Structure 1
């Protein structure tokens, strides 16, 4: 009864286009043997010769394990239902041109030719051939739906009183699912690392980013399992610039050298594990801002807490959906963008709110300040000092901070979302607005006080920012006052 209810629910999902394929790299032989184990006892009771025939001991491909089991269980169950005692049932499996070919062949009562034509229609049964074996008439119909959902096919060859053969073909490669809806790829590194074959790319139809994001966003993948690392590269490389590392030590070196926009790392790795790498990254002032996602089969609460205490941004447990991982990355990047805007606003208001620095009478109390906060304090101090310097360059700015140009550029962009050139212009325009609000300076004076050599260019930048020229802004302020 439970199987019947589940089959009806599956039909409803298929009809409403809500049935989703969860494709996973699977050893088909092992999965077939697991299904066949359910019938060993009845085979012994009925003295049926029940065997699996395969050309190889290992066949690997992308399939939905649950739906594959339902297909094979139904076909084998029907074979036992209509095969007399002391006969044989054979399951054959082979591969042809990246296609899995499955055959369930029995020496049963067979099926009339006219009946074969409607066999896969819903509520069609062979009950009149065997009244002792009740049937709902939806098993084979569901089998066909599930096979076609896998982009496969099913056919039957049968002769009455001789036997029947159900032939199923399924694609093993990911390419059969390109552009298909309701398809997810479940990533797991449980396959033996001796099987170091190149993992195949998997498409994703759910996550899109604009062209600008494709050019700018880079990801560092740190994973010692080469198959999983290649798989991650394939699913992310169409959207992001991907850098690879095989262990935590190499990952740390790559993070320092390339300063990626975010890091995806395994935990259990040789030489340096993921948590130690995270700790080293968060202690490095140049790269401590980089968001990190950890992947691990360790899913206990203590492991999650340990990762979060090290400063990671997200924790994804294996096995996981590639669509889910992409969604988490996109969400994380969106959160970073919002934080950048908030951080820029807070620092702009904090420093530029005081055109005349206030010198405290007493030295401040010592504080523990994170690297990013300290970095922004130093940036704003340099900006304040160089506000009227029209010769200020990015190289000079970086020198004032005792940093390399590339590190300065990438770190500032990661924290506030602006390049150094855009940041300097933003700060100068905001200072110009403050000076115009005071009503004490004309347009030319404000331009020179904020590092603009050309008042016309200053007016153009001001209008672009606030929608009106400096003189118009000044007049409006006077009218409001």
Structure 2
């Protein structure tokens, strides 16, 4: 019999420990938890039952035969996995003769976690852990190396930045001397009552530009001090509202020029507090410059002033609690237009960071240091500056806070002695630009000036208004609208503008059938050959780099308008395009005029030919057709049809093949008298005299 854990095992046909009774010597199959068992045995000798002598031996486990004497059972516990053969024999009394022997095979299966495939898994796991450890080790080393390289690069960048800032600060310092020499005389000329009109406007443009350059020079020098931590506050008691009102008055001129509604809230009274007027003006100027630059024509800028308590300031700006400060002033500058992406609101205050390619346009924050500089000044003033989305749905809101209490400032930050706190180069309030006095002269050509910088646009208007009727727009979309409404004779456009740039604007003009005949001049500070090639590739007729000579610009405009007038005169005399000079028309205009000539030739004898019929045959809208013919020829379509018929009549008369009556009929004139009268009006002689 077989017992496992003292439990008798019965034979099972399928999947059991034994397949038949042990007397048939079947193989014994034991699982890993059945390795404690006993086998009982007996010899078939009934006469000598009591004197039978047994010995057994488990091959593979026992090293010798076990003398069981008269015991009929063998016990094994915790037998290791493996294959064994259990032998049992009987001997005579002196053990010299083996009278009988038998054996049975035993197989103990290992535990699942000790099988070969388990060890393979262990090996793979160990290998994976080793690889992960190695990878982590390599990653740590790589990160340390990257951190080391980043530290070295940062140190190198800081060294280069210090060198650059030192260089720019030195150059900026050198700029102050010539700018001072320019600013003084210009201010004196502006105050001269004998200078007025257009000359006065030109001086105001120079004055504002000089003051703007001085602000930029001072900003560069302050920026260098900020980097070197040497910029210090100089606070004194002053009227903050009066300071803000002065700055708003300066920007209101440009806002009016651009058609922007500039409103103020809370600036009606006075508010005395400790402040560094120079730093506050620079913060406010940066915010207003950005707002004015990125607000579209017809948009709105709002400047607000309020006083808030410490808890509200800490909640809005994350300021640390300071028991010395109980109140803050809050100044906000909000503008309509494109919004700042939510994930870029904090990034725009990083040094040299710029937003680009927003909503398929360019939303570029200048050089990338203005907002960084403004926030640094606000923090230096123990306040803070932040940006947020406009509650109206589009646009941005910039808000800065400054402490009201004088306890916020240390003794070395206060101006103890009465000193002159005014700017070395004060800004004079610029007068409104003079009205265009040439507007009543309808014969003057009309120019469309497109530039997002109101100062440049105002200068060009002042320069050109003596010779032309000038229309100013400040972005490409408004300019395209003005092209259809005002029908100018030439377009003068800047290249770098928010939204569509000058290249895209020029390309849209040249791809529009109604507008492609208009000469386009691109004016920009991009002076490389590649930039000029790019501008001419868009179809521009000329490319002018800044700074430009006013005489050259006037001569260029005059030349382009003269060429356009020459093309009009030729179209008024020609009857087919192959007789015209090469390149006098653009390819698109040449195709249009050729089709128009073919159509007029085929309808030459039709006295009922009118605009409706022509637009139907050319598959073009009536309005577009009218402005296209008017723009190319300088005449209305009906007048141009009549001129063409008379020119063809003159050609037929010269050929001498037909009589005057036949030619009048061939060219669509209903009566001979009408034909003779119109012909004499056109050429100064009668048809018969012309033939002679």
TM-score range, shorter chain: 0.5 to 0.7
The one of 457, 461, 479 equivalent to 2:678 is: 461
Shift in CA distance, 243/67, structure 1 to aligned 2, threshold 3 Å: same
Shift in CA distance, 37/467, structure 1 to aligned 2, threshold 3 Å: closer
- Residue 308 of structure 1 corresponds to 536
Q: Per-residue displacement from partner, 1:183-219 (whole Å, max 9, x unpaired)?
A: 99879979489845247547999xx9995632xx322
- Residue 514 of structure 2 corresponds to 286
Matched, 1:376 2:593: yes
- Residue 607 of structure 2 corresponds to 390
* 1:73-472 equivalences in 2 (<5 Å): 100=187, 170=192, 175=197, 177=199, 191=212, 195=251, 197-198=253-254, 201=433, 211=441, 213-214=443-444, 217-237=445-465, 239-342=467-570, 347-348=575-576, 350=578, 370-472=587-689
- Matched residues in 1 for 2:251 and 2:637: separation? 47
- Residue 258 of structure 2 corresponds to none
1:174–1:202 contact (8 Å) kept in structure 2: no
Equivalent residue pairs, number:
303
1:267–1:274 contact (8 Å) kept in structure 2: yes
- Greater CA radius of gyration, 1 or 2? 2
Q: Per-residue displacement from partner, 1:327-357 (whole Å, max 9, x unpaired)?
A: 33222201221233345555537489xxxxx
Instruction: Give the secondary structure class of the aligned counterpart of 1:462.
Output: helix
Residue ranges of structure 1 left out of the alignment (5+ in a row) = 1-32, 39-64, 73-98, 102-149, 153-168, 353-368, 477-481
- Shift of residue 387, structure 1, vs aligned partner: 0.9
1:435–1:441 contact (8 Å) kept in structure 2: yes
- Matched residues in 1 for 2:536 and 2:187: separation? 43
1:184–1:204 contact (8 Å) kept in structure 2: no
1:203–1:235 contact (8 Å) kept in structure 2: no
1:219–1:264 contact (8 Å) kept in structure 2: yes
Shift in CA distance, 176/374, structure 1 to aligned 2, threshold 3 Å: closer
Q: Per-residue displacement from partner, 1:396-447 (whole Å, max 9, x unpaired)?
A: 3233322233322322233234432332122111221233234443322221
- Shift of residue 322, structure 1, vs aligned partner: 4.6
Q: Per-residue displacement from partner, 1:442-479 (whole Å, max 9, x unpaired)?
A: 322221221112311211222233332112334x2xxx
- CA RMSD in angstroms, aligned pairs only: 4.3
For normalisation by structure 2, the TM-score amounts to 0.38
- Residue 138 of structure 1 corresponds to none
Shift in CA distance, 370/233, structure 1 to aligned 2, threshold 3 Å: same
Shift in CA distance, 186/303, structure 1 to aligned 2, threshold 3 Å: farther
The more displaced of 293-302 and 389-398 is 389-398
For normalisation by structure 1, the TM-score amounts to 0.53
- Matched residues in 2 for 1:189 and 1:415: separation? 39
1:348–1:427 contact (8 Å) kept in structure 2: no
- Matched residues in 1 for 2:441 and 2:523: separation? 27
Higher RCO (CA 8 Å, separation ≥ 6 residues): 1
- Shift of residue 68, structure 1, vs aligned partner: 4.4
Instruction: Give the secondary structure class of the aligned counterpart of 1:451.
Output: coil
2:577–2:593 contact (8 Å) kept in structure 1: no
The more displaced of 422-431 and 412-421 is 412-421
